[in-house]
Chains A and B, each alone.
Chain A
Amino acid sequence: MTWNFDILPDFIFNGLSLGAIYGTVALALVLIFKATTLINFATGELAMLGAFLVYVLHMEQGLWLWLSMALAMALSAGLGVLIERTLTRPFDPEDHLPVVLITLGLFLIINAVAGDIWNYQVRILTNPFGKFPDWVPSVGGDRFVEVFGSRLKYQSIGIWLTLAFALFALGLILNKTKAGLAFRAVSSNVESARLVGVHTGRTLGFGWAIASAFGTLGAVLVAPQLGGVNPNMMATILIYALAGAALGGLDSLGGAVLGGILVGLIQAVLVTWGGVVVFGQLYMSILQLAAAFLIILIVLLFRPSGLFGTRRVERV
């Protein structure tokens, strides 16, 4: 057994960029959980649908990639509002089971509809960060820069910058706008929010909109790593994102991002790099999924509120 540290930075970079994607999807989960204490199992499929919208707009209709992404995020947001209004609002918010079942049903329906329209083959979607733009001076290659003797991919840098920008925008929306304040109020205390005149339904719709847009962003960023888009692309991503959200604390937005990144790191460094070191080859993909479940299990057992979540204290 040789401890091959030369290749470790590669795995760290990989873990950090995958983790950033998990963090993006985990944010979508946590945004809705914070406001409703509800896990939206359709998060991944809504994100997949968003990625297919980008596919249709960009690859089929020939729109500029970034414009297609903006449009797809806006359309996903609209769909999120529609789902909140028609499928979740009519139900008693205190009773979680019906709504959770509805999100599970949505998961299956969206997956089946996407499969019917686009079938289950992987379709190539342009990588927004495939090659450095022409104005960037060449430092190693057109797809990566050399750091610590390892290749730091443009894709990773692009994902980090995109996530940083998205988080900044989310922070502005939540902290500097009236709708954001209302959303934080509803997340904190629904009844009191109603008593200051907040329309809680509309505000939850607003949360669904942001969450759906974030999900779509995550799906578009992860697509190149999966070889493209396909209706099942988000199934395992959602599990890693769930592990990240659980690890960070289901009601902490910052925790979701950090938890997602940690899961990516654990996956890439502990499991994959560790696997290479111990077994000398890459055949650990099953273990990666197992690691995600293990994280969920350990967090639920020993620290249900996660690293940054609010501990629920029952007051009498």
Chain B
Amino acid sequence: MVDDVFDEVGLKVENLHASYGAVEVLRGLDFEVAAKGVSVILGANGAGKTTTLRAICNMCNTSGTVTLGDDDITRTGTAEIVRKGVAHVPQGRGTFPELSVLDNLMIGAYTRKDKEVKDDVDRWFEIFPRLSERSDQLAGSLSGGEQQMLAVARALMCRPRLLLLDEPSLGLAPLIIEDLFERFTTLNKETGLTMLVVEQNANLALEMADYGYVIESGEITLSGSADQLKNDPAVQEAYLGA
């Protein structure tokens, strides 16, 4: 499909701390996402999953080292990090409700200067036909599942090298979640796009990931290959409902 579009790059995070005011939310995280790989961070509400992704994009007070490929991006501004190829689908979709579906995609390509933006819009419209049908509708009028598709398509419009997904399953019906994760898997397999997903829905997340971490109270308490985690008794009890 689009294997020519994405470069592969890995992410390495060392001793990442983050705080909101006096409250320390992340207490020294170390994790990696292999180039072309999918890593997942599992954790309960308030464990620090969202903050981890925000810290990577330098959207909160952080210390530690974040390296994208060979590039230290710890002190890089959010808008510049996007230019380096990091696309972030925030929690709650983060679409632009007052903008049309098409404008949402166009703003996704804000950092690009090439002439192929239109082609990419067509490509994502082909993959998400529901968005194509609603091209002129305001994003705020879409259903939750459509909004999530739009948020992902918008993130991909910048032709990222690393895709950060913040609880993409949140608030969606089970069938829609399954469809969505299938699309993520396909995207990763066909394009080699590196992904970091934070999720509470461990089943699906471990299905698509090749490596996983468990975060509790701002610390990584467990890590391993997706298969290892799936079979880990603690993970099964806490996240897989076994």
Binding site for B on A (CB under 8 A): 178, 181-182, 184-185, 187-189, 191-200, 310
Contact = CB atoms under 8 A, between A and B. Distances in A.
A192 B94 contact: yes
B103 A197 contact: no
Nearest to B157: A196
Interface of B: 57, 59, 78-80, 82-83, 87-88, 90, 94-99, 103, 106-108, 110-111, 154, 158
A294 to B, nearest CB: 30
B95 A197 contact: no
B78 A195 contact: yes
Nearest to A201: B79
B110 A181 contact: yes
The winner among B79, B83, B108 for most chain A CB atoms within 10 A is: B79
Nearest to A199: B79
A185 B79 contact: no
Given A189-B94, A195-B57, A196-B158, A181 B103 contact: yes
Contacts of A185: 96, 99, 103, 107, 110
A158 to B, nearest CB: 33
Given A184-B98, A189-B95, A195 B110 contact: no
Contacts of A196: 82, 107-108, 110-111, 154, 158
Contacts of A197: 79-80, 82-83, 110-111, 158
A194 B107 contact: no
B97 A188 contact: yes
B105 to A, nearest CB: 10
A227 B198 CA distance: 65
Nearest to B78: A194
A200 B82 CA distance: 13
A198 B98 CA distance: 17
Contacts of A310: 98
- Can you list the 8 inter-chain pairs with the closest CB atoms, starting with the nearest? A197-B82, A197-B111, A188-B96, A192-B94, A188-B98, A185-B107, A194-B78, A195-B88
10 contacts: A182-B110, A185-B96, A188-B97, A189-B94, A189-B95, A189-B96, A195-B57, A197-B111, A197-B158, A198-B79
Contacts of B107: 181-182, 185, 193, 196, 198
A192 B96 CA distance: 7
A191 B106 contact: no
A185 to B, nearest CB: 5
Contacts of B57: 195
A178 B96 CA distance: 15
Contacts of B87: 195
Contact of B82 (A184, A188, A191, A195): A195
B111 A191 contact: no
B118 to A, nearest CB: 14
A94 to B, nearest CB: 13
Nearest to B104: A185
Residue in A178, A185, A199 with the greatest tally of chain B CB atoms within 10 Å:
A185
A254 to B, nearest CB: 13
A192 B95 contact: yes
Contacts of A193: 96, 107
B111 to A, nearest CB: 4
Contacts of A200: 79
A194 B103 CA distance: 16
Contact of B103 (A184, A189, A195, A199): A184
Contacts of A191: 59, 90, 94
